Amino acid sequence: MVLQYEWQSFQGALTDDNRDYCGIAERFNATLYAVIDGSTRWHQGGELANELACKLVDEFMDLDKHVTKQSVLAIFQQFHRDLRLQYPAGSASYIVLVAIDGCQVMV
């Protein structure tokens, strides 16, 4: 089955920039889908959302083994340690879905 991805986003009315980001990464046994919305209430929300989207896709693709629930959770644990120090005033909402081996889904 061939999948096609389409991303649509609408800029909010509170900021001059769009703070919505997405990330999609396909590996041999798993696919990652992420939608990240940087907060408009905090000045580092857009930067945090952008960095999270980029790092999430990069780290997912760099996994040197078969993707598992534990390997994906380890990525998030590392992000939490690193990005909260880099963007102390940043805030973002996100949803991440990982489909593993075509049947196991993790949200």
Tokens of 49: 């959302």
Full-model pTM: 0.81
Task: Give the per-residue pLDDT at 67.
Answer: 87
Statement: residue 1 has pLDDT above 60: no
Burial of 20 (0-12, 13-18, 19+ CB in 10 A): buried
Distance separating alpha carbons of residues 94 and 38, to the nearest angstrom: 9
> Could you give the dihedral angle defined by the CA atoms of residues 86, 47, 62 and 35, in that order, rounded to the nearest 10 degrees?
130
Range 85-92 average pLDDT: 88
pLDDT at 20: 84
14 against 93, higher pLDDT: 93
- Residue-wise pLDDT for 14-70, tens only, equals 667 767 889 999 998 899 999 998 887 777 888 888 999 999 999 999 987 788 888
